[in-house]
Structure 1
Amino acid sequence: MRPRFGRSRALGGAALTSVLLAGCGGDAAVPPEDAPPVPDELACSEGTISGAGSSAQELAMQVWIAGYQQECDDATINYDPIGSGGGRSQFIDGAVTFAGTDAALHGEETEEARDRCAGATPVNLPAFAVPIAVVYHVDGIDTGLNLSPETIAGMFNQDITAWDDPAIAADNPDLDLPDTAIQPVSRSDESGTTENFTEYLHAAAGEAWPHDASGQWPIEPVEAGQGNSGVASAVEGGDGMIGYVEVSHAGELDAANVGVGDAFVAPSPEAAGRVVAEATPREGNEEHDLALDLDYGTTAADTYPVVLIAYEVACLAYDDAEEVDLLTGFLSYVVSEEGQRAASAETGSAILPESVRADVRAVVDVITVD
């Protein structure tokens, strides 16, 4: 099986152009026939809010903004995909209304954000669950590539350095592997995608990955790219490359099937959704915080475990009623069935389980004016 994701990236670029034109005050907007579906009862509000953060949910955010603004003419929502770490920092500094992050706010950041929220609790709201694709570009490998967790870890830890290494051959007995040097590509910026990917390696690869999970790549990189798009471009640009990207940024790149138990599983919304459905609340969550723990080391059948959940981080209280009305209306659309299906069609993301979406709606309903 050879997963391909070219449609999502192409449509994402068109959506971005339309959203930018609308958001900058131009006459152009998303044509009605291209706008994503919205619920029959959509809470429209007027004004402007801004968010920043996760590049993994960049294309999904374009879809949600296009759908909401097409229906709500007096609303403007801006989003800057600067990366999860940058988004959390801007939220804590009060520069944006909400942050998008692939790694939930926790610890010292939560306390700093509490100050920004005028003493109210900052909350992590699951909005987007998507496979992280292990993408590669290797002349001579033009069929599906299987990689066990230990093999992936060895390649990214620079212990496995050639594409005909015995470990890769053991995963792919039917492939004629070239002796091309392996060129792993990691993120240059602090990244929730990196944190989720290294959490997967830490949980699933055992001693083959001797590093803790981190949003910063833990070793000196061979090559690095800014954001998911930077990693994808680097992998596209050379022979022997391998990288990790949120699946909607994979474009025309090949994606490996990942070893799970005795099988190899391709990234798909359905396979990723099975991990999300089994997620549990993060230990130590405060009331209304919906951060989740994923079982990255699962061996369940037909499950793709290399998954990230992107959150929208918001305050439970703001000092501006217009800001609250617009934020809560927009977030309600994001986790609606229509919003989730629109994002999935564009990006290959999993549709969040109804139980998770109901929990998010309940928290959105208690966001108030201080």
Structure 2
Amino acid sequence: MIHRPTRLAALGLAAAAGLALTACAEDGGADAGRVGGLADVSGELQGEGATSQQRAMDRFASLFEVAAPGSTLSYNATGSGSGQSRFLDGQVAFAGSDSPLQGEQVAAARERCGGNDALHLPMVIGPVAVAYNLEGVDLTLTPPLIARIFDGSITSWDDPAIAEVNEGAALPAERIRVVYRSEESGTSDNFMRFLSAAAPGDWRLEHSKSFPSATGSGASGSAGVADEVSQVPGAITYVESGFARDKGLGIAAIDFGAGPVRPTPETVNSALATLEYSGEGADMVVDSGKLFAMREAGAYPLVLTTYEIVCSAGYDGRTRDLLKNFLHVVLETGQDEALAELGYIPVQGGFKDRLAAAVDSIS
């Protein structure tokens, strides 16, 4: 079902919030726009990576300029794979990535960080929507159905397996057109990890940052796949929910095993409440296998925990202080309703406290 896009409203709210912060700063209300305890440093901080967090980074950049005058963020949204490569090559201070470093990358990061380990900080949380373009259809899917659609086993919207969980829906006899991310993407990697965990009997392909090209067609970036689906009747994709809403796409309710659930702040926070980590200490790598296999009522576990991958130590003093200033601004002023309006889930409680401690530990 095509709905009216909400991007202008979301951006308007974000802009209004930014203007309010600026006005408070000009009026001397430092508490509203500035963050206490920031290091006395200025300059440009460079990051690169996941397109899934691009709009969050745009907002954080505005807040950073207000809270730390003379400081700017340059974030290049090229995809998780590119961001990781640029970080490992020492060309940017941090990488935005929807999946953690793996294998030889861990050793490469230690070398890049002057013999110190890299940290994965899940600073941007966003539900992944299974988004579609079907006029007049309010769709429910299950993980096995999603797996069979995206591996090409189910090819028509009126397939009996889809009809069985959408009783009474007017499903068209129309070809399903799968759209996937054409470049290396942490979103692809996590989506396939989800299918492996939630539908192991139906999804037998190995996860990777590159989606198998045997089914469907590719488009570049989160905005690219959402735009492609909006133009192609019968199309379906996996994309961060904010991008799907921007294009007015239908967002499927997913029955993970305890009834259909839609991605909302409440359902996502229900899933995050039981989050476990495979990393240790300040390295907050999420145990995605346990998250994606969750079947609790009212929880939506198909969530991207987008990491800012940073060095635990090894930066020059100026870069370290700029990075820590930025991350503290993100945590202290960026987790608000304006972020939620952009399609992300503001972090809170013990999860937020652990992130703050991890940022403090960077030396």
| TM-score under structure 2 length normalisation | 0.90
What secondary structure sits across from 2:114 in the alignment? coil
Q: What is the identity percentage for the equivalent residue pairs of Structure 1 and Structure 2? A: 35
For 1:193 and 1:157, the matched residues in 2 are separated by: 16
For 2:147 and 2:18, the matched residues in 1 are separated by: 45
For 2:193 and 2:89, the matched residues in 1 are separated by: 27
Consecutive unaligned residues of structure 1, counting only runs of 5 or more, are 19-28
- 1:43-84 deviation line (CA, Å, top 9, x unaligned): 263111100001001111111111111232200110001001
Alignment partner, residue 29 of structure 2: none
What secondary structure sits across from 1:184 in the alignment? strand
Contact kept in structure 2, 1:134 and 1:244, CA below 8 Å: yes
Alignment of 1:334-353 (within 5 A): 334-336=330-332, 338-342=333-337, 344-353=339-348
Alignment partner, residue 101 of structure 2: 105
Number of residues of Structure 1 aligned to a counterpart in Structure 2? 350
Contact kept in structure 1, 2:340 and 2:346, CA below 8 Å: no
Alignment partner, residue 26 of structure 2: none
Contact kept in structure 2, 1:54 and 1:82, CA below 8 Å: yes
For 1:90 and 1:271, the matched residues in 2 are separated by: 34
Does 2:295 align with 1:288? Answer: no
Letter in 2 for 1:323: T
Moved more, 249-258 or 292-301: 292-301
Alignment of 1:302-341 (within 5 A): 302-336=298-332, 338-341=333-336
Alignment partner, residue 6 of structure 2: 7
Contact kept in structure 1, 2:195 and 2:203, CA below 8 Å: yes
Alignment partner, residue 83 of structure 1: 79
Aligned-residue offset at 1:354: 2.0
Alignment partner, residue 54 of structure 2: 58
The structure 2 residue matched to 1:43, chosen from 38, 45, 51, is: 38
Aligned-residue offset at 1:168: 0.8
Alignment of 1:159-308 (within 5 A): 159-250=153-244, 251=246, 252-282=248-278, 285-294=279-288, 295-308=291-304
The structure 2 residue matched to 1:148, chosen from 142, 146, 155, is: 142
Contact kept in structure 1, 2:118 and 2:310, CA below 8 Å: yes
For 2:8 and 2:309, the matched residues in 1 are separated by: 25
Contact kept in structure 2, 1:30 and 1:66, CA below 8 Å: no
Aligned-residue offset at 1:97: 0.4
Alignment partner, residue 117 of structure 2: 121
What secondary structure sits across from 1:267 in the alignment? coil
Alignment partner, residue 354 of structure 1: 349
For 1:13 and 1:98, the matched residues in 2 are separated by: 28
**RMSD of the alignment, in Å?**
2.4
Does 2:32 align with 1:33? Answer: no
Alignment partner, residue 70 of structure 1: 66
- 1:133-175 deviation line (CA, Å, top 9, x unaligned): 1000024xx1421011111111111110001000110110110
For 2:257 and 2:8, the matched residues in 1 are separated by: 31
- CA, structure 1 residues 277+173, in 2 after alignment: closer, same or farther (shift >3 Å)? same
Contact kept in structure 1, 2:34 and 2:67, CA below 8 Å: no
Contact kept in structure 1, 2:179 and 2:219, CA below 8 Å: yes
- CA, structure 1 residues 221+178, in 2 after alignment: closer, same or farther (shift >3 Å)? same
What secondary structure sits across from 1:130 in the alignment? strand
